[in-house]
Structure 1
Amino acid sequence: MSQQVQTQVDVGSLSLRGFGLFTDMLAVLSADNVTPMAMIQMEQLGSLFHVNGRFATKVPELLTRASSHPIGRLTLAVGWRRGDSVSLLAESAGGQAMSLLSLCITNIYNEEAVGQILSRLSSRLLPRSSPHAGVVPLADVAALVASKLNRFGFGNVLAEQTMRVHSVFEKLETTIPDGLLELPSVESLTDVFECLSHLRRDDTVIRISGSPGILYLLSIVIFMFPHDAIVTVESYVIHEGEAEGRIIIEICDSAPVQVQVEKKLSQSAPLILPMKVCEDGRKIKGACSFAWEGWIARKLQIEFARVGATCTQELLVAL
């Protein structure tokens, strides 16, 4: 009997990588109803993305934060507690990076599309010997993580970048390109994340140019890699990170989006991936989360931008 109790204690103190030895048992014991194999896969996939910026620094705190409300002699735990499945992602750089990636895609796509993106990325980037969970378990983990991090307000970031881009075109007195908020297809966003994974190599530069659907890519980069990014709108710089620009985003009038992986010291031909927008975005579109303060204004700015209009401050006041 004492040996059984000792085994349970040891399991609770294991790192995420150690879960592979106890998959069946932990699948039953997990209060979050997530598959441990999917958790391991998510952490390994996240290790390929080196995130930075203000959101990245806050991830560990939010993933492990918990609050409780006393009910008589009992305590009802609300949220996550230290040591459970989701908070374990906060213990590694890969888990933290994957948490930010999960938050981005769950705000843009529905659950099925999120699972497809994660599954395809895993097949392309992880070794065959690595754990490979199904589409649904991966989407479940992403949804759990996003529910903890949604207070970041990815929708606010999307609205802020939308207004910055619109303001530049207005200052230049040029027409705002159509389709800036068209939804990228699942295949295209998978290609983009595969290219971004190359940033773990010091001699790599990612160049993204064009306009259809590029506001989603811009928001993801600003959310996950702000220090590495340089963003221009018709050659007008609107963002320059603290580090040397390794992600260059060039928003051009009505040009198709191209994603290139370039080498700093090599003259080899770059890898070019044309990004396709989804023909019927309603089928895979998700719902953006917003921070509470100012969320109505940000939501209006995004919806106006979808039809090619700018929701000005004067209009917000009038509304």
Structure 2
Amino acid sequence: MSGPLNTQVDIGNLSLASLGLFSTMLTALSADDVQPIAMIQMQNLGAAFPVSGPIPTKAPDYLQRCHSTRLERVGIVVGWRKGDAASLMAQSTGGQAIALLAVYLQNIGAKSPGDILYSVSRGLLPLSACSSSPQMLERVAQVLADKLAVIAFGTIFAEQVCRIHKAYQHLQQRVPTRLLEPLNEDWLSEVLVMLSLALREDKRMIRIRGSCGIGYILSLVVTLFANDCLVAIEGVVIHQGHRSSSIVVEITSTLEEQPLEVHSMRKVDSITELLHSSRLPRDHLYFICDPLPTKADFAWNGLVSDLLHNIFQRWDLMCSQDVIQSVGLCALSAADVTYMENFPVKHLLGEHHNNIIHKRCEVVLRTQLPKTWPSYPESFKRLDEAMTPSIMASPENALFQWTSPDEDPFGFKGQIMDAIWLTFVTLFVKGHEDATWRHFDFGDEGISTRPSDWGDPTQPFFDVLSNSVWRQLFPRAWGTVTSTIRTFKALLVDNAVRGVVPFRSFISDIGEI
């Protein structure tokens, strides 16, 4: 008996016009190095997540945007290609939903987004529809997350953590710690499957309860599923969707040292337990974690302020407005004593450099600053005075010896110094109102390219190289091939510029970014 017949399609009789119908799509997928079968699987997976709220309504416009700007003297075009692979996802609700989920996974610092998407696919889709490998899915997720970086999930994390802090202050209760503790990826895969089932099935709901890592869960549900979730802090409702309460998030300090509790329920007496814990294994020491997830996106307006809130929260501290203002004064005063090729670096900005850096500093800090500022040692002293109340309020303040002469680049002091450096770097950029900045891991250098002695209050002045400033802002462009410029709107530096055009000339050529 003959075996089963395999269905085949004879394309020999297809006309060139018929093949031409697919040319645009195939060109886009080829240019972005994504597999068509992976795109289809991702779109089908997204259909299992009915998103809602203000942010999802903007996703189609974000995915289809193709604005670009030509830098005449540099001779490159910066922007998004019309009809790229990401724009294809804007044509369906499933594509929009999976794009939002992809940018979320990237922003929480998931080390293997492809593995998470693969596990969720096998939990929600028929096996016949799960033919893509984790690597193929991760490549699609990367393309989508890059296009949706404008959502600025890093900023959303900071906003939601501040929201929790304010609620506890109003309740006059102590804020629980570890709100931004990294999540176990196996646990997250299970939770995403349960979220999908709760959103699509009547009389089913999911309840997530606790505090460890709850900042990431809160950001997910109120951003992607705003109309179908209920959020309560110590029994006080702070958010309720108008469509349903399929997702219930309960933030409570009583489970401060425990992993998040997750219950998927059809009835009161029917509860599904998860196989994995939300917390990482004990050998992942929390106090040496990155200050925030690698690849987290932050809106330019309030960039440093939101970054500081994330850093402080990862150390179970609260960032005060005095600290934010003091960081700004340190950056402004450091600009007065930072030199490059024997001239003050701020003179690159022209005659009115003080007014320019003052305005730009207020933007990234989202706060008002005095128009005159003290010397750097005096500004650093003010920062030290502003830091003390937060450090001493911590139950483990010995870990955060701000006055210690030894600086660990991955420690608390090193991270605050990196935030000051980033503030200084932003003084030389006029950011667009919709611009975003992505946190990048520089390996042994930590979260920044800050020179080792930059920011030391005992030094009379600081020397910097041009590449340390530009590499902080455009890490993927510095030292990479020119072709990567088509992917990111902000990338301005490539091999053709590096080492050929001096920093001073490069600034004058492109003007204010």
Aligned to 1:20: none
Instruction: Please name the residue that 2:36 is paired with.
Output: 36
Residues 113-122 or 251-260, more deviating: 251-260
The answer to whether structure 1 residue 120 and structure 2 residue 119 are counterparts is yes
Tell me which protein shows more helix as a share of its residues. 1
Normalised TM-score (structure 2)? 0.55
Shift of 1:271: 1.4
Deviation of 1:164 (Å): 1.0
**Separation in 2, partners of 1:306, 1:275:** 19
Q: Percent identity?
A: 34
The answer as to whether partners of 1:232 and 1:239 remain within 8 angstroms in 2 is yes
Instruction: Classify the secondary structure of the residue corresponding to 1:290.
Output: strand
Name 1:170's counterpart in structure 2: 169
Match of 1:18 in 2: none
SS at match of 1:119: helix
Q: Secondary structure at the match of 2:147?
A: helix
* Residue equivalent to 1:52: 52
- How far is the alpha carbon of 1:153 from its aligned partner? 0.7
Q: Is the 8 A contact 2:194 2:264 kept in 1?
A: yes
Note if 1:259 corresponds to 2:289.
no
Structure 1 residue 11 corresponds to structure 2 residue 22: yes
**Residue aligning to 1:272:** 273
Q: Distance in 2 between matches of 1:99 and 1:28?
A: 16
Distance 1:158 1:29 in 2: 32
Structure 2 Cα separation of the partners of residues 131 and 117 of structure 1: 13
Q: How does 1:58-73 map to 2 (within 5 A)?
A: 58-69=58-69
Deviates more, 1:62-71 or 1:182-191: 62-71
Which residue identity lines up with residue 304 of structure 1 in the other structure?
F
RMSD: 2.7
1-structure distance, mates of 2:28, 2:52: 35
Query: Who wins on radius of gyration, i.e. which is larger?
Result: 2
Taking structure 1 as the reference length, the TM-score comes to 0.86
More strand as a share of residues: 1
**Which residue matches 2:387?**
none
Matched, 1:135 2:163: no
Secondary structure in 1 matching 2:279: coil
* Aligned pairs (5 A) from 1:1-319: 5-12=16-23, 26=26, 30-69=30-69, 78-82=79-83, 84-110=84-110, 112-198=111-197, 199-255=199-255, 256=258, 257-263=260-266, 266-273=267-274, 275-279=277-281, 280=284, 282=289, 285-319=293-327
Q: What amino acid does structure 1 have at the position aligned with 2:16? A: V
Cα distance change on mapping 1:237 and 1:313 into 2, 3 Å: farther
* Structure 1 contact 122–132 (Cα < 8 Å) conserved: no
Change (3 A) 1:75 1:174: closer
User: What is the count of residue pairs matched by the alignment?
Assistant: 303
Amino acid at match of 2:149: N
Structure 1 residues 217, 75: closer, same or farther in 2, change over 3 A?
same
The question of whether the paired residues in 1 share the 8 Å contact of 2:181 and 2:212 is answered with yes
Of structures 1 and 2, the one scoring higher in RCO (CA 8 A, sep 6+) is: 1
CA contact (8 A) 1:260 1:270 kept: yes
Letter of the 2:314 partner, please give it: R
Q: Secondary structure at the match of 2:128?
A: coil
Unaligned runs of 5+ in 1: 15-25
Unaligned runs of 5+ in 2: 1-11, 328-513
Question: For 1:257-309, what per-residue CA distance to the aligned partner results, in whole angstroms no more than 9, with x for missing partners?
Answer: 1111222xx45412133642123375995331011111110110111111111
Letter of the 1:298 partner, please give it. Answer: D
